[in-house]
Amino acid sequence: MKATCPECYFEFDVEGEVMIGEIIDCPDCGVELEVVSVDEDKVVLQTVAVEEDWGE
């Protein structure tokens, strides 16, 4: 299935079954993306807000 990264607009193929809520890494920019909907042949993704760990 096709997916497009909302950050860098890179289009890539997602292999296998994809479920809503699943996290996928963009193969181009490496950002974490959450599956928000799955159409017949297209996966819609949104950026996951990464909680930054500032350490101590």
Q: Give the interface with Zn ion as residue ranges (CB under 5 A).
A: 5, 7-8, 10, 26, 28-29
Complex with Zn ion: residue 10 or 34, whichever CB lies closer? 10
Complex with Zn ion: residue 31 or 38, whichever CB lies closer? 31
- Least distance (Å) between residue 22 CB and Zn ion: 16
Tell me the CB-side half-sphere exposure of residue 21, using CA atoms within 13 A.
0
Complex with Zn ion: residue 13 or 56, whichever CB lies closer? 13
Q: CA 55, CA 35: separation in Å to the nearest integer?
A: 29
* Cα-based angle 34, 40, 43 (whole degrees, multiple of 5): 20
